[in-house]
Amino acid sequence: MRSAGREDTSSPSLEKHDEAEIAAFEARATRLGLLAFASCCAAVYQTSAVSVESIPVRYVEGQVHGFLTLRTLDGALIADGDSTQASHGGTVTNRVVFHFKDGSLQDETTVFSQKGAFHILSDHLVQKGPAFKRQVDLSLNGSTGLVAVRYRDDDGQEKVADARLELPLNLANGIVPVLLRNIAPGAQSTAASMVVAAPKPQLVKLAISAEGEDWFVTGGARHKATRYVVKVEIGGVRGAVAPLVGKQPPDTHVWILGGSSPSFVKSEGPSCEGCPIWRTELVSPVWPESGKETTASKK
């Protein structure tokens, strides 16, 4: 097994393939006059940055155990999941695990406080297996801002990238559905932030807005869910260039059932850089057909 190499992230840098693509684009853009446009967009982004205020707690989180599925958009099942949550005082531990049919694993554990507003205390995300373009192990400390990412480069060598980031109050790693359930009634938009592995630690902004409403059915009853769109805003010159070189992350859509007890219904979006759009849905247990002998009854 090859030894891990540690990278210095004290100054911003890009992966080699990203640098090459952006350099190529800049060369073309200089000739076309688009580089000035990209720089202008970056300046506008910096002067109109979204708010970094924390999202107030409207619904206190408690004990939860739900079952999830992960499917392609054409309905093919690719992973089974569990969502568990435990609350101790003002601290909540949320864990979502997906076991893929090809042996891949996605496992994220988030610890957050909910005293007045939501605040991430720690987050640990593991993505490994053939379902993921890059094998990643990301951990962050919400109090110190220390972020560590383990990943494998294009040569299969394990790398470790550490960084200390100024984490905003509206950090959303691992709790985007929780934050959406707590958006004030009638609010059409809000903002959040997220640390991603690109593969080095990077802070991006999430622009969240209500996009519409959709009906769904449970048994014979109809319900209406609000559909939110979550857009990733990278920022800077890199963010302005990203859409033009095919590096802008796709939007994520999340459906939330409103009312006196808002709940997550489903989401559609990528789970990682380069991942396709997958659908996450709540599922109910399926019992053996009546009259058929179960395993328990045989004993």
Find the range with the poorest average confidence among 9-23, 99-113, 151-165, 258-272.
9-23
Q: What are the φ and ψ backbone dihedral angles of 53, each rounded to 5 degrees?
A: -70, 145
Greater confidence (189 vs 147) lies with 147
Which tokens hold the place of 138?
């990301």
Q: H-helix or E-strand containing 64?
A: strand 64-72
Asked if 72 and 286 count as a contact pair (C-beta separation under 8 A), the reply is no
Instruction: Tell me the C-alpha distance between 176 and 280, whole Å.
Output: 13
User: 75 pLDDT exceeds 70?
Assistant: yes
What pLDDT is recorded for position 234?
Answer: 80
Tell me the whole-structure pTM to 2 decimals.
Answer: 0.78
Half-sphere exposure of 68 (CA within 13 A, CB side): 25
Greater confidence (295 vs 33) lies with 295
Asked if 273 and 196 count as a contact pair (C-beta separation under 8 A), the reply is yes
Question: Tens of pLDDT along 91-139?
Answer: 999 999 999 999 999 999 999 999 999 999 999 999 999 999 889 999 9
Question: Mean of the pLDDT values across residues 43-57?
Answer: 55
Greater confidence (184 vs 161) lies with 161
Which tokens hold the place of 208?
């969240």
What pLDDT is recorded for position 52?
Answer: 58
